[in-house]
Structure 1
Amino acid sequence: MKLTEGPVKSGSLLSYQILVFLIVILWSIIGFEVAQVRLLSLFEAPLTWVSWAVFVMISLVPAITAVAWRMKTRIRFVEPEWEFREREVSLSEYEIMMKEYQGQYRNFISIVDHFQILLICILSIVALAVPFLLMRTTLILIAASPFIFSFIVLLYGLVYSSVIFKLIPNEASPHFPLISERLLRSSVELLQKVPGVSWTGIRMSIGEASGYYTIRNTMPASRIEGIESVSLIRGVIDESGHLSSFVSTLHLDESDSSKLIDEIPRNSSIKQLTELVYKTLQIYIDTKGTDEVLDEVLEEVMHSLKRFNEAEESQSS
């Protein structure tokens, strides 16, 4: 095992990648041989073909899993002293950042690739169904069935190796957490609809050390118009990466701490979030005073709350 730059220690992964490819090729050849023999009796014993095809694909799983596990866990990581800074970006910028983050730290991050899992399911179904679909076509296509099955087994193995490698965690994985843009989109879009909010996006802490960076404390966030520099309405993310609540804070003095205004549940309505904006504005105005911009924002928020109340009254009557 050799020392690479910074806190990461790992040996060459190339030998393991070659081994995975050789295993997949071997199983592809086995699949070809099995198909040549078992497809001869497809009409008489279709379940025999299905059983053997399933066996070929399932037997590939432990072999690839073992190599992928050894390859991923070969990486050693000693957490450095991160230098953190806060950053706020739009949802689209965050999506681009996460793609780059996953690409750069694919050997560290542990994620579930839903698209590739779906692809594995499709390949499995196609592998079993191809002989039945081709049995009433031309002789050339029927004769090609073993080759087609062999090729599908090859694709199946390569995709599965990618899925399991991404899924397996290692020592570095806890230090490179990842919250998907999909988990944050709905809460960001909800905040965008709240009256009195001038900016909505993603807030995060970026830590840098030894040429590496990590993204922590990712959350949906918004700023109230007129007091953008001191107000923050943000979502609280739990350990599973899901939204647990919304909180509003104000930074009213020169200290590093912010004042907690209120906290509301994650399933709050636009009206409840608007009430949170109103409460935050009132506390700021009571403490620091008002101006023309704040008066206009407060009036807009109060007008929206009035409409929400009228709508509720009309529905209840």
Structure 2
Amino acid sequence: MESGNHSCGTEFTLVGLFQYGHMDTFLFTLIAILFAVALMGNITLVLLIRLDRRLHTPMYFFLSQLSIIDMMYISTTVPKMAANFLSDTKAISFLGCAVQTFVFLTLGGSEALLLGFMSYDRYIAICQPLHYPVLMSRKICCSMVAGAWSSSSINAFMHTVYVFQLPFCGSRMVNHFFCEVPSLLPLVCEDTSQYEHTVLVSGLVILLLPFLAILASYARVLVVVIQMGSGKGQSRAVSTCSSHLTVASLFYVTTLSTYTQPHSLHSPGRDKVVAVLYSIVTPVLNPFIYSLRNKEVMGALRRQRG
């Protein structure tokens, strides 16, 4: 059996979202349009938050960070995926695959934690408004973002180093449109069941715990909102929280279905469809979900146009 170190000079072949064929041009065009829409939507949101002083609050600071992550997130997978529609080889180098895996895991973990922090911000704003300036100061918000990036990058580094020192043998066909840990494990020559438990634990900590925290926070928020006497205040709180809960549910449910299932239950076709939801669809929809249902963002857009 070859050792993992002997695999470093090899290339992988990405099978892709579908079997490439006569629909290559159509799929390339569709993916390119989605990529452009995601970039334009997220860039617009970041610029609005940067330029409009009324949006210089913790909630919009977190939202701008989410948009930056989404731009990087979709840029990690889509350009290579789109290029493969026009390429004959569909190959990705060993190093390129490792880098893609590390960056994707880092961004995914950062987004998972950031969504949790965003729900905490709304919880403090609605349930403890008098303490909000202290509990959500600029320093604390920056520390939260730094903590999300650092912890997720450490987790991603450990998983990437471990997976890419394993011995890959036989077919180098990755049945996916990008390099992701669950799609790489079937190519490993040795038993990975123990490592899969580590992936499960990481998924539960980084994905499930923040999601449960979001649900608990918004359950408390819902109780407070019901007790509000102001119909306008109720409407604003429900609109903001429902937008965030929509984004969070789409992201967490799809990623949890990939990273908390044992290898034996994975289906390549299903995994690719689910991956489209959290790696492409979510970055495309996020800026529109937050902006179209947010009067402050739409007001900032009108002011910039005027």
Larger Rg computed on CA atoms: 1
TM-score interval (norm. to shorter): under 0.3
With a CA cutoff of 8 Å and minimum separation of 6, indicate the structure with the bigger relative contact order: 2
- After TM superposition, the score normalised by the length of structure 2 is 0.25
Greater strand share, structure number: 1
